[in-house]
Amino acid sequence: MQTRKFEHSKRGISNAQMCILVARDRSGQTLDWVPGKEPVTRQQLHEHVKTRLAPNVLLVTDGHAAYRHFAREAGITHEAVNLKAGVRMRGAIHVQNVNAYHGRLRSWLQPFRDVASRYLTDYLGWRWALDGGRIRSPESLLRVALGSSKLPNFNT
């Protein structure tokens, strides 16, 4: 699990950027969420993430302190990798699945040029559907867009 700021002109924390928290498992199941412009807090993690994690999960994160405190309070096994020190993995412990998703998300968002923060969640939903191969045809895109499992009959 990691948070990333998506903005091309500035790096690090700033009020010009929105955080996007991404959690992925090895099978590609993805949870993403926009905590806001500030770094994610353990209270936000309890509110938005805890109910979506299995009790026996191994939470692998970057070194942000909020993850460590959240995992301890939630009783979740936690391992952190020190990305700032260049440590990307320790055996099977890594966040490369999340890093790869961030790269695809960043590349995909780039042509849209400065997505408005109020629409960012919609773009994340769109990317989620595309990334997992959930939309394989125009018909499935229409089903997702309509929020329906049944397509209307356009032939009548």
Residues 9-59: tens digit of each pLDDT:
555 556 667 888 888 888 888 888 888 888 889 999 999 888 888 878 888
Q: What are residue 41's phi and psi, to 5 degrees?
A: -110, 160
Structure-block tokens of residue 78: 């936690």
Q: Which SS3 state, helix, strand or coil, does residue 125 take?
A: helix
- Taking the C-alpha atoms of residue 82 and residue 137, their distance in angstroms, rounded to an integer, is 41
Contact 146, 135 (CB under 8 A): no
pLDDT at 1 over 70: no
For the chain, the average pLDDT equals 79
